Structure 1
Amino acid sequence: MNRTQALLADAGLLALAALDAGFNQPGRAWEIGTAVLAVAALLLRRRWPVAAFALTLPALALVGSVIATLIALYAVALRYSNRYLLTGCGILAAAGYLFPGLEYQYPRADLVLTGIYATMTAAAPIFFGRLVHAQRELALRLEDIRAAREHERLLDAQATLAKERNQLAREMHDVVSHQVSLIAVQAGALSVSTTDPGVKSVADNVRTLSVDTLDELRHMVNLLRASGSTATELTPQPTLSDLDRLITGSGIETRLTGTAPDGIDTAVQRTIYRTIQEALTNVRKHAPGSTATIELAHDDTDFTVAVTNTPPTRPTLALPSARHGLVGIQERAALLGGTVKAAATGDGGFRLELRLPRTNPSR
């Protein structure tokens, strides 16, 4: 509902409550005052629904203005799910409806029927408010399910691509590296055994080119093994400079603490970014309504990234998960000589910690 529709709805409800109060013909000043207070209290129902409901009770009991109390009671049921609060408000509304005021007396024969009618009248806005609340929660859950399924589809595609890249990397390493290594060894042997300066120069050149080729091959294999997304090598890869945009677009209340040291390798930055991205995705998926804290820390040997989220504040839904995201994070960390720890916290939240060495291990 946009702002214009909300204003029109407020105006319509205020007019309906005012007409209901007018039909009861309040004549004395205090009757008119309670009726005006009940109608004006509806303006507070979105922010303070319980207070608005309490302010409508005098008009219900003394004037018989029912509509304002029912509207406020609906607002309470829409906001809160506490059964004791809702039961108490319902009892007050039913009692106010039964209160004879200053001029009315119920016949004894009609008291039971009037009590049933008062109870049903008070219960209707409560049930309707809870129904609308459940419908909104269901819409949120369905949106989470759609997002989770899309995320799982992307993870499956990434896992398939990573498997193909790993297979290609193994083939390149096993075949090409073996043959180029033989060339380098034979060129070195020829350089040592020959006495011809020209042949020696050519052999040394072949050996140097073979060693350079092996270095390039190892670098390419590492890139293939580390690549787990659908992005091509021509697409700019994320770095730590993109963290602010990632946090802003996550839809989660997130606090970033600490700083990263200067001169971090791009592969390390990409791994850190993907780890935080996956952690925030899991927070939205498994802990709706929670907040997250990202801690960056480093010392002389290690660089640490920890993402901690609070317990969920909205009902969670059991969603299917193949845990490809966590496996991918562990594989990325292992390629850089790092470790990943993931565990629940004592207060019902979750913590994911990535630890990487400041200097990448040689391969």
Structure 2
Amino acid sequence: MKRRAVRRPLTDAGLVAISLLDAWFQGSFDTRFNIACVALTSCALLLRRRAPLPAFVLTVPSVLTSSAVAGSLIAIYALAARTRSRPLLAACAAVFAACYILPWPAPKIGPILALSDVPDLAYGLGLAAAPALFGQLVQARRDLAARLGEITEVREHEQFLAAQSVLAKERAQLAREMHDVVSHQVSLIAVRAGALQVSTLDPDAKDAATTIRRLSVQTLDELRHMVSVLRTSGSPPTELTPQPTLAQLHTLVAGSGIEADLHVDLDGDLPPPVQRAIYRTVQEALTNARKHAPGSSTRVEVRHRDGTVRTTVTNTAPTRPALPLPSAHHGLIGLRQRAELLGGALESGPTPDRGYHLTLEIPIRPRR
């Protein structure tokens, strides 16, 4: 900014000096009227930035009355570098050429213009066209630089959004895995510790079970807060590897810590995304049954009928009070989102016998 503040006055002084030198070389200081026109032209150049068109108009008398044209050409360049009206620019060039060939003062007898003035007219048009084209080139370069700056900003913004999108997906994916895997295991530890705390008669074992259960509950609570923070991104997660398959369902049910039966009736292998969805659904249902319906029995059914895989997890009514384990209430939401991504649906709700059911239906071929 400081350099520009110093450079502008120096540029103005230089252009005014060029205009005065041109008038001096052309002998335009012979009369008072010509001196006034030259002074008017030189002063007009100081207005070329704020008012380029009036500045050009003020330089026209000097072109008409003398051969000093440098000031007017500078004004044409300033106008061309700022205006976007090409007809206006062409009209100014025509006015310059006309004033350049018109005699001053006009003859009292005979025509003002003759056929021999055509070359002079062409020369005047070419003389005016040079700064006009150069000014338009400078304007185009300025516009191109501004457009490139905008494109650069847009690209940087797109890269920022892409990075944020990737980060959001990773955060949501991490939240899903933490809820599906870590919370499942910690809640199982808490349930087993609670059962040991009630059943054992050894004081040391009872204290250890109490400590384990307390720490498990605290860990679940911290996981709940972490999952809530990670889910603020709101983006659908992508899958991590390795991922569970239906071959691991028996291990999952057997290690759930509750009484559960598994029945699988499938025709052939299912796509990996469908297998993962079924596994996570059964895992979430068993976790909820263990947390909210202690003492209940659970039945897990996975069947393939008419191009649709139906997974149903049903538990009976609880026979003991539920442990006060913390919950983020994101499990069913995540399962429903996973099902919708696969074109399926998830339903859940209480049963008439005070139990609970969770049903997942996923088509294994595209719907038509």
TM bin (shorter chain): 0.5 to 0.7
| 1:39 counterpart = 2:17 | no
Aligned counterparts of 1:108 and 1:49: Cα–Cα separation in 2: 32
The answer for the alignment partner of 2:20 in structure 1 is: 18
Structure 2 matches for 1:56-205, cutoff 5 A?
A: 56-102=59-105, 108-191=114-197, 202-205=208-211
1:48 aligned partner, one-letter code: A
Larger Rg: 2
The answer for the alignment partner of 2:221 in structure 1 is: 215
Aligned counterparts of 1:96 and 1:210: Cα–Cα separation in 2: 96
2:227 aligned partner, one-letter code: V
Percent of counterpart pairs with the same letter?
51
Aligned counterparts of 2:221 and 2:80: Cα–Cα separation in 1: 68
| 1:55 counterpart = 2:61 | no
Q: Which moved more, 1:6-15 or 1:42-51?
A: 6-15
- Contact 1:61 1:97 (8 Å CA) reproduced: yes
The one-character-per-residue Cα deviations of 1:247-291 (angstroms, maximum 9, x if unpaired) are xxxxxxxxxxxxxxxxxxxxxxxxxxxxxxxxxxxxxxxxxxxxx
Shift of 1:142: 2.3
The one-character-per-residue Cα deviations of 1:117-176 (angstroms, maximum 9, x if unpaired) are 222222222211110011111122223333433444444444444434433332222111
Aligned counterparts of 1:25 and 1:57: Cα–Cα separation in 2: 14
The one-character-per-residue Cα deviations of 1:34-85 (angstroms, maximum 9, x if unpaired) are 1111111111111221121111111111223211111011111111112233
Structure 2 matches for 1:331-342, cutoff 5 A?
A: none
Aligned counterparts of 2:113 and 2:87: Cα–Cα separation in 1: 31
5+ residue gaps, structure 2, are: 235-333, 335-368
Aligned counterparts of 2:101 and 2:224: Cα–Cα separation in 1: 85
Aligned counterparts of 1:216 and 1:227: Cα–Cα separation in 2: 19
Give the RMSD, CA atoms, in angstroms.
3.0
The one-character-per-residue Cα deviations of 1:288-340 (angstroms, maximum 9, x if unpaired) are xxxxxxxxxxxxxxxxxxxxxxxxxxxxxxxxxxxxxxxxxxxxxxx9xxxxx
The one-character-per-residue Cα deviations of 1:183-240 (angstroms, maximum 9, x if unpaired) are 2233344455567777666544433322211121122233344479xxxxxxxxxxxx
| 1:6 counterpart = 2:8 | yes
Specify the SS of the correspondent of 1:27.
coil
Aligned counterparts of 2:76 and 2:44: Cα–Cα separation in 1: 12
1:42 aligned partner, one-letter code: L
The answer for the alignment partner of 1:332 in structure 2 is: none
5+ residue gaps, structure 1, are: 229-334, 336-363
- Contact 1:35 1:63 (8 Å CA) reproduced: no
- Contact 1:17 1:68 (8 Å CA) reproduced: yes
Aligned counterparts of 1:184 and 1:46: Cα–Cα separation in 2: 79
The one-character-per-residue Cα deviations of 1:8-31 (angstroms, maximum 9, x if unpaired) are 332222111112222133422222
The one-character-per-residue Cα deviations of 1:90-142 (angstroms, maximum 9, x if unpaired) are 23222222321116787723221122122222222221111001111112222
1:8 aligned partner, one-letter code: L
1:89 aligned partner, one-letter code: C
Aligned counterparts of 2:102 and 2:211: Cα–Cα separation in 1: 106
- Contact 1:17 1:39 (8 Å CA) reproduced: yes
Structure 2 matches for 1:244-263, cutoff 5 A?
A: none
1:54 aligned partner, one-letter code: V
Aligned counterparts of 1:195 and 1:91: Cα–Cα separation in 2: 111
Specify the SS of the correspondent of 1:79.
coil
Task: Calculate the TM-score normalised by the size of structure 1.
Answer: 0.55
Task: Calculate the TM-score normalised by the size of structure 2.
Answer: 0.54
Structure 2 matches for 1:312-331, cutoff 5 A?
A: none
1:102 aligned partner, one-letter code: P
- Contact 2:48 2:55 (8 Å CA) reproduced: yes
The answer for the alignment partner of 1:262 in structure 2 is: none
